[in-house]
Amino acid sequence: MIKEYSDLFDPSELPRRRKELHYYLAGFADGEACFSVSIKRLSTARFGWVIDPVFHITQNRQNILELFRRVIKCGRVIKKPGQPETFQFIVENRRQLVEKVIPFFERYRLLSKRKDFELFSEIVRRLERKEHWTREGFEAIVRMAFQMNSSGKQRRNRLDDILKSLRDPQRPYAGCPEEAEQA
């Protein structure tokens, strides 16, 4: 019996084996988690944009998120801004994504969000290799980000606009302003 989360759940409610609990959490994440890579406008950045990978799960029950935080051993659980009854488990730190989140889901594999996860982890790996330091590398990552989460239907900035701006950084950007910059 797993007893170390007894402040969150009655140990008799949890799966008996750690591996089973991890598969349970992988299944939960497959339905509820979001692997997101925002492309945000930032005029002081090398190419005028930053690439921002984030893993998060949004729920109105805090204890399941706290369980994630303690099993994956990183991230934080916060109240979702503007929604006081909603909580988020969020990992933004790239080192934690590389060392904790990605290995967890490589071991306990997602069935439904698998393509998003693969794009996400490939993008994070490319950032680790500093491939975004060249214009070609940056553009390739932006294109990958736009393949995620149903072809980026909800993105603020259009792929074409970002690519144009990357190729001609002197040209004033006509899209979303910097304040509301989530691409």
Q: Which residues bind a second copy (CB under 8 A)?
A: 9, 13-15, 19-21, 23-32, 59, 61, 63-64, 67, 108-109, 111-112, 114
Q: Which is nearer to a second copy, 112 or 134 (CB)?
A: 112
How far does Cα 29 stand from its chain's mean position?
12
Among candidate residues 46, 20, 15, the one with its CA nearest the CA of residue 134:
46
- Name the minimum Å distance from CB 137 to a second copy: 29
| Tokens 């553009």 belong to residue | 139
Which residues touch 105 (CB under 8 Å, ≥6 apart)? 26, 29, 117, 121
Q: Which is nearer to a second copy, 52 or 116 (CB)?
A: 116
Q: How many CB atoms lie within 10 A of CB 6?
A: 12
| Cα–Cα distance for residue pair 158/166, rounded to 1 Å | 13
Q: Which is nearer to a second copy, 149 or 157 (CB)?
A: 149
- Name the minimum Å distance from CB 30 to a second copy: 5
Q: Which is nearer to a second copy, 60 or 134 (CB)?
A: 60
CA angle 164, 170, 175 (to 5 degrees): 50
- Name the minimum Å distance from CB 111 to a second copy: 6
- Phi and psi at 149, nearest 5°, equal 50, 65
Q: Which is nearer to a second copy, 21 or 39 (CB)?
A: 21
- Name the minimum Å distance from CB 18 to a second copy: 11
Which residues touch 83 (CB under 8 Å, ≥6 apart)? none
- Name the minimum Å distance from CB 63 to a second copy: 8
